[in-house]
Amino acid sequence: MAGKFDRVPELSLNAYVLGGASEKQAFMNALIEGFQYFGFIILKDHGVSGELLARAYDMSKSFFDLPLAEKMAYAAGPDGQRGYTPFGREHAKDATVADLKEFWHVGREFAFASPLANVYPTNKWPERPTRFRETFLQLYAALEDAGFAMLEALAPSLGVADDYFRKMATNGNSILRLLHYPPVPKDADPAAVRAAAHEDINLITILVAAEGAGLELLDREGNWLSVETARDNLIVDAGDMLARATNDFIPATTHRVVNPKGPNVSRYSMPFFMHPHRDAVLECIPSCKGSGAKYPPITADAFLKQRLKEIGLA
């Protein structure tokens, strides 16, 4: 287990991308320690422009303000991978009530003639607000670039080639989720929360710092800690797929979004779920085997379908 921290570590991505050898090594050391101890790190100096983040939040609010009937015209399919999913559908694994949220999914786009064009579902795009497609494809690309840098920085600590995870995630089924947690309804089930305790499915999640408090992680001592940072920072956490590949050397961290303790107002956030390509095999990295692999190899696609079923999206 990594050294004791009293808060989620804050790292500068520029130290890795633009720094010298010692700065790169310090970043890599802090990254693996943060992931082992908390499963979370906070990223600043990440290259995603503040203007783009502000525009994306404005677009997200404008979309969720539309009438429900208009949003439902873009309803996601059974697996919820593209388009709009309404309030009250998704739930955490093993939860008995739905989360108090609605969301929109943006996936990867390919040129029409690409041999990969039919591999993943096609994106849906609303007629309004204007520039919605342009804005969120820009944000998707910018967050993916930051994610690739993070995965590259993680690889040496696990004894694999620098491009080990990049190869897995290139042309991956990564998802940008626009999330709206409305004010909690007066008639809500007493057991319902904005997002019940869960672990993410994917390799890593890159979360644009939310507009509104509520995100909490469960630390290794069993305590819930609030995760908050400056508006333009990114919050990064390790998911189930990374935990599986590392034999839980990097555990997936349980987290939740609690109901507001102050004014009962909306909360918005934008997580980017970084997934491998569908045929990537999740198998134990040799350096993490210890006394033996805990999990049998499985393709990323098969694992995703299994988990989507568990949370009510398949």
Give 10-77 as a 3 state SS string: EEEHHHHHCCCHHHHHHHHHHHHHHHHHCCEEEEECCCCCHHHHHHHHHHHHHHHCCCHHHHHCCECC
Report whether pLDDT(3) > 60.
Answer: no
In a domain, 3, yes or no: no
In a domain, 296, yes or no: yes
pLDDT at residue 115, rounded to an integer = 79
In a domain, 302, yes or no: yes
pLDDT at residue 4, rounded to an integer = 57
Of 12, 4, 7, 6, nearest to 234 by C-alpha is: 12
Report whether pLDDT(13) > 60.
Answer: yes
Mean pLDDT of 154-161: 96
Q: How many CA atoms lie within 13 A of 173 on its CB side?
A: 23
Question: In which band, very low, low, confident or very high, does the pLDDT at 1 lie, cut at 50, 70 and 90?
Answer: very low
Coil, strand or helix at 144 = helix
Q: What is the CATH number of the domain that holds 100?
A: 2.60.120.330
Domain span holding position 304: 10-310
Percent of the chain with pLDDT over 70: 96
Give the C-alpha separation, 22 to 26, whole Å: 6
Longest pairwise C-alpha distance within the chain: 57
Distances (CA, A) of 274 to 31, 59, 73, 89, 226: 17, 22, 27, 22, 23
Tokens at 313, concatenated: 């999206």
Token pair 């050397």 in the structure block, residue: 249
In a domain, 4, yes or no: no
How much is the mean pLDDT over the chain? Answer: 90
In a domain, 260, yes or no: yes
- Helices 50-64, 132-154: inter-axial angle, 10-degree rounding: 130
In a domain, 1, yes or no: no
pLDDT at residue 98, rounded to an integer = 83
pLDDT digits (tens, 9 = 90+) for 73-128: 999 887 778 999 998 777 667 677 888 899 999 999 987 778 777 888 889 999 99
Question: In which band, very low, low, confident or very high, does the pLDDT at 6 lie, cut at 50, 70 and 90?
Answer: confident
In a domain, 165, yes or no: yes
pLDDT at residue 212, rounded to an integer = 67
Question: Left, alpha or beta for 295 (phi > 0: left; psi -120 to 50: alpha)?
Answer: beta
Give the C-alpha separation, 253 to 161, whole Å: 25
Structural domain tally of the chain?
1
Give the C-alpha separation, 271 to 267, whole Å: 13
In a domain, 248, yes or no: yes
Read off the pTM: 0.92
pLDDT digits (tens, 9 = 90+) for 197-243: 889 999 999 998 766 678 889 988 888 988 888 888 999 999 999 99
